[in-house]
Amino acid sequence: MKEELENLRQNYTMSEFSEALANESPFKQFEVWFAEAAQSGLMEPNAMAISTVSTDGKPSSRMVLLKGFSETEGFIFYTNYHSRKGNELLANPKASLLFWWPTLERQVRVEGNVLVAPEAVSDAYFRSRPAGSKLGAAASPQSKVLASREELEGYFKKWEQEFPYGDISRPENWGGYMVQPTYFEFWQGRTSRLHDRITYTPQPNGQWLRQRLAP
C-alpha cells in the first residue's frame, strides 16, 4: 500500500491562471469558475469542505453544499445549529471553505467571518426543499450519539406520520449561515507541480489585492 500511494500522481496540463486572467472581483472570478465546474459534468460542483475550530483549538472539516453566493451575502449553506459545526461557529464564528473540481484541475479556498442568515432567508430556502429533506432536517439530532440506525429511522417515521406530506415549518434549530470572505485563493494545477495560485485580500479602499503565491 505504501508503494502504491507513493506512486499515485497526476500531471496537471489542462489550463493556466495568471494575474492578467484574474477578474478584479474574486466574487466574479468565483462565478466564472463555478459556472465552468457546473458545465463540466461534475456531480455536485457546489460541494465544499467547511472547516471550523473548537474552543480548545481543535479543527474539524466536513462536506456541505453551497446554496448561494453574492458579494453582499457571502457564501450560504444550511445545517443544524446544534450540530458540531453549529456549536463551533457559535463559539468562534470563522470558517474556511474548500472547493475541489478535479475535472478542471482546480480548487478554490475561501476564508471568512460567519453570520447566521436572516430567518426570512432560511425560511424561504426550507420551503423550497423536497418533503423528505424537510423531514430529515426536523428528525435528525445532528452530531448526537445514536444507539442504532433504527433509532434514527424511528425519529424520521415519527415526523413522517405527523406530517405525511412534509408540510412543516422550518425547525428553530435549523437554518443558514453566511460566510463573508476575508480571503480567496484560486488554484490551477500546472505541469511539474508549478501550480498557479492567485490570492485576493481586501484593502481599505474597498478593492481586492491580487497576488501570486509560490506553489
Question: In this structure, what is the dihedral angle of CA atoms 157, 161, 164, 169, given to the nearest 10 degrees?
Answer: -90
What would the grid cell of residue 187 be? 488554484
Respond yes or no: is residue 109 known to be catalytic.
Answer: no
Instruction: Calculate Rg over the CA atoms of the chain.
Output: 20
In angstroms, how far is CA 186 from the centroid of its own chain? 15
- 176 touches 67 (CB < 8 A): yes
How buried is 178 (Cβ within 10 angstroms: 0-12 exposed, 13-18 middle, 19+ buried)?
buried
- Active-site option among 193, 197, 210, 212: 193
DSSP 144: S
Question: What does the DSSP 8-state code read for residue 21?
Answer: T
Secondary-structure breakdown of the chain: helix, strand, coil percentages, each rounded to the nearest 5: 30, 35, 35
Rounded Cα distance, 64 and 127, in Å:
19
The secondary structure of residue 163, as a DSSP letter, is S
Active site residues per annotation: 193
